[in-house]
Chain A
Amino acid sequence: MARVVIRNLNKKFNEVHAVKGVNLEIRDREFVVLVGPSGCGKTTTLRMVAGLESITSGEVLIGDTIVNELPPMDRDIAMVFQNYALYPHMSVYDNMAFGLKMRRFARPEIDRRVREAADILGIENLLQRKPRQLSGGQRQRVALGRAIVRHPQVFLFDEPLSNLDAKLRVQMRVELKKIHDRVGTTAIYVTHDQVEAMTLGDRVVVMKDGIVQQVGEPLDLYNVPANRFVAGFVGSPAMNFAAVNLAEHDGALFAVGDSIRLKLPPAKAKRLQSHVGQRVTLGIRPEDLRVGSNNCADGLSFPAIVEVVERLGSQILLDVKVGAISMVAAVEPAVKASVREELHLAFDAERLHFFDDSSGDAI
Chain B
Amino acid sequence: MIEGAKWRRWVYFYIPLTAFILWLLFPFYWMLVTSVRPDRELYRPWMAPNYAPFWTTHPTLVHITDLLTDTLFIRWMANTLLIAVVSTLISLFCGIPAGYALSRLKFRFASALGTGIFITYLVPQTLLFIPLANIIRNFQLGDTPWALILTYPTFLIPFCTWLLMGYFKAIPRELEECARIDGATRWRAMLYIIIPIAVPGILSAGIFAFTLSWNEFIYALVFLSSAEQKTVSVGVTSELVRGDVFYWGQLMAGALLGSIPVAFIYSFFVEYYVAGLTGSVKG
A81 touching B177 in the complex, CB below 8 Å, given contacts A88-B282, A89-B197, A102-B188: yes
Q: Does B283 contact A (CB under 8 A)?
A: yes
Distance A98 CA – B283 CA, assembled complex (angstroms): 17
Number of residue pairs spanning A and B whose beta carbons lie under 8 angstroms apart: 69
Q: Does A103 contact B (CB under 8 A)?
A: yes
Q: Does A115 contact B (CB under 8 A)?
A: no
A150 touching B182 in the complex, CB below 8 Å, given contacts A88-B281, A89-B196: yes
Q: Does B185 contact A (CB under 8 A)?
A: yes
Chain A residues, CB < 8 A from B170: none
Name 11 interchain pairs, CB-CB below 8 A, sorted by A: A71-B185, A73-B184, A73-B185, A75-B181, A81-B177, A81-B178, A85-B178, A86-B283, A87-B179, A88-B281, A102-B179
Q: Does A91 contact B (CB under 8 A)?
A: no
Q: Does A31 contact B (CB under 8 A)?
A: no
Contact, CB under 8 Å: A102 / B197: no
Contact, CB under 8 Å: A85 / B177: yes
Q: Does A146 contact B (CB under 8 A)?
A: yes
Most buried by B among A77, A89, A139: A89
8 nearest A-B pairs in the assembled complex, by CB-CB distance: A99-B182, A102-B183, A85-B174, A85-B178, A81-B174, A72-B181, A73-B183, A72-B180
Distance A9 CA – B39 CA, assembled complex (angstroms): 85
Distance A87 CA – B178 CA, assembled complex (angstroms): 9
Nearest CB in chain A to that of B196: its residue: A89
Count chain A residues whose beta carbon lies closer than 8 angstroms to a beta carbon of B: 28
A83 touching B197 in the complex, CB below 8 Å, given contacts A73-B180, A131-B283: no
Chain B residues, CB < 8 A from A84: 283
Contact with A along B54-82 (1 / 0, CB 8 A): 00000000000000000000000000000
Q: Does B274 contact A (CB under 8 A)?
A: no
Among A52, A99, A132, point to the contact of B183 (Cβ < 8 A). A99
Q: Does A79 contact B (CB under 8 A)?
A: yes
A132 touching B282 in the complex, CB below 8 Å, given contacts A72-B180, A72-B181, A73-B182: yes
Distance A79 CA – B282 CA, assembled complex (angstroms): 21
Among A71, A81, A87, A131, point to the contact of B180 (Cβ < 8 A). A71
Chain A residues 93 to 151 lying within 8 A of chain B, measured CB to CB, are 98-99, 102-103, 131-132, 139, 146, 150
Q: Does B22 contact A (CB under 8 A)?
A: no
Nearest CB in chain A to that of B184: its residue: A102
Q: Does A78 contact B (CB under 8 A)?
A: yes
Contact with B along A62-77 (1 / 0, CB 8 A): 0000000001110101
Chain A residues, CB < 8 A from B180: 52, 71-73
Distance A132 CA – B172 CA, assembled complex (angstroms): 15
- Chain B nearest CB, measured from A188 CB (Å): 13
